[in-house]
Amino acid sequence: MVQIRVLVCDDEPDARFLLRSRLVSLGYDVLEASDGDECVRIAANDPVDIVILDVSMPRMDGFLACAELRRNPRTRHIPIVFLTALRTSRDDRVKGLRLGADEYLVKDVDPEELAARLETVLRRTVGPVETNPLTHLPGNAVVTEEIESRIRKREPFAVAWADLDNFSAFNDRYGFARGDKLIVETAAILRESLKLFGEEGDFLGHLGGDDFVVVSTVERSAAMAEHAVKLGRERFPLLYDLDDRSRGYMRTLDRNGKQIEHPITNISVAIVQSRGQRFQNILQVADAANEMKRRAKTNPGSGVVIDRRVH
């Protein structure tokens, strides 16, 4: 079962420690932020299922952080729970709810009540389209909004479509449970590569299956993709049985009983660059990426192909 990841934001270290301890004891995976700016940054760049946000903080308070999270297409779907003192006024509670908060908790909430309230919020707000349940990455709707937002801004950007070579054969050979492990490892590799070579504001989404999307800058996308391919070559063989790993390929049978050899899977990345007004909508971006993906598949082992056309 995939752990639910909670981002706790409070400027008081003792309060964060207490809440973190309670959440961990309930089986949650916990990230921490010490102010609103850090909270907004982490939520935009790491897969998070729910945010618990202190209302009263210096610089960017909880209300401002909530508004920022709701403005950003990659974070606006995340449930937000405000953390308050007992003396919080009715007006403040109404203000928070109008900004997009989903629930209020007092700071000394009982662990049993904490668990019940978080479960209720998650049931009420988390939908299957917005976040992939296996990788916790943003799904189709958020990916679409992210790319369309970049198109509207008319600023240069690059979209990298990543998928796995021979993934269907891997599933046939080893089963869906190990296939899920391969998908989770792919997400980890892309996330690691983006953190190393990307910059703040870059985006990683999971369309489903073995299809991932990275939105980055024209200048950094190629280095990110090359690093991901390199990590895949190093790590994916470890998910194969020793015999297949030693041979460098696995064997399956086709419908006619003929033996087929499939090389060790790796990541293929098709990068489409947009400068100025090349694209008018996401369908044009997807068409260009599919053309690049077909080119990559006809040249096995190439790893990364880039469409540098301006028009």
Span 59-87, average pLDDT: 81
- Alpha carbon distance 210, 64 (integer Å): 36
- Alpha carbon distance 160, 130 (integer Å): 20
Task: Please check the confidence at residue 57 and state whether its pLDDT lies above 50.
Answer: yes
Half-sphere exposure (Cβ direction) of 276: Cα atoms closer than 13 Å: 6
Tokens of 271: 């990068």
Encode pLDDT of 288-308 as tens digits: 988 888 877 776 666 898 887
Encode pLDDT of 181-217 as tens digits: 999 999 999 999 998 998 888 999 998 889 999 999 9
pTM above 0.75, yes or no: no
For position 1, what pLDDT does the model report?
A: 44
Q: What share of the chain is helix, strand, coil (3-state, %, to 5)?
A: 45, 20, 30
For position 140, what pLDDT does the model report?
A: 83
The SS3 call for residue 204 is: strand
Encode pLDDT of 147-176 as tens digits: 988 898 888 999 999 999 989 899 889 998
For position 26, what pLDDT does the model report?
A: 87
CATH class of 140-307: alpha beta
Report strand pairing: 203-208 vs 211-216. antiparallel
Secondary structure letter of residue 274 according to DSSP: E
For position 301, what pLDDT does the model report?
A: 61
The SS3 call for residue 117 is: helix
The SS3 call for residue 143 is: helix
**Cα separations in angstroms, 288 against 78, 148, 272, 278, 305:** 31, 15, 7, 11, 12
- Assess contact for 55 and 96: CB atoms under 8 A: yes
Encode pLDDT of 230-287 as tens digits: 999 999 999 999 999 999 999 988 778 888 999 999 999 999 998 877 788 888 988 8
Contacts of 158 (CB under 8 A, 6+ apart): 215, 216, 217, 218, 220, 221, 271, 272, 273, 274
**Cα separations in angstroms, 65 against 103, 183, 226:** 15, 32, 35
Domain ranges of the chain: 5-125, 140-307
Encode pLDDT of 102-154 as tens digits: 778 877 777 888 888 888 887 766 554 467 878 888 888 888 888 988 898 88
The SS3 call for residue 195 is: helix
Facing residues of 83 across strands? 54, 105
Fold of 5-125: Rossmann fold (3.40.50)
